[in-house]
Amino acid sequence: MIYTFRLPLINPHMSSARVECVFAGPGNALKNGSKLFDLGVDLSSAFAQECPPVSFFRVVLREPVIFRRLDAERGKLCQVGDQIALFSDKADESLDAPVRDIRFAVAGIIHHEGMWTGSVA
């Protein structure tokens, strides 16, 4: 079975998020609880203030799968609903027709030095 991960609506005011970190890559067998991505959500266009309202979130798998394809690299700004990655049950399945979205959980986190934001001069 083929699964997709699309950028979810984490906050009702967001329209996009930046891929801050990617913790797995194509070919990796992942288990329930594996870290997938850290995402950064900037709400400064909706809430203008001196200190931009930027929040960070971690996406964690809720089912075992094989990571097959990454469609958004670290640092890329993605729109809500954009496909970011594909997964499957078997390493050799055709990626032609995703069946459903992957099961995942999202948690708020604090900025860390491995993130794209703050690491680019």
Q: What percent of the chain has pLDDT over 90?
A: 79
Residue 45's pLDDT is what? 67
Residue 97's pLDDT is what? 87
Task: Tell me the one-letter amino acid at 104.
Answer: F
Could you tell me the domains of the chain? 2-44+51-109 (2.40.50.100)
pLDDT at 50 over 70: no
Both structure tokens of 100: 């459903």
Residue 43's pLDDT is what? 84
Task: Let me know: does 36 contact 61? Beta carbons within 8 Å.
Answer: yes
Give residue-wise pLDDT tens across range 80-118.
999 999 999 999 999 988 899 999 999 999 999 999 987
What is the average pLDDT across 6-25? Answer: 94
Q: What is the spatial distance between Cα 42 and Cα 61, in angstroms, rounded to a whole number?
A: 23
β-partners of residue 53 are none
E-assigned strand segments in 1-121: 2-6, 16-22, 29-30, 35-42, 54-61, 65-70, 77-79, 83-88, 100-101, 104-109
Residue 42's pLDDT is what? 87
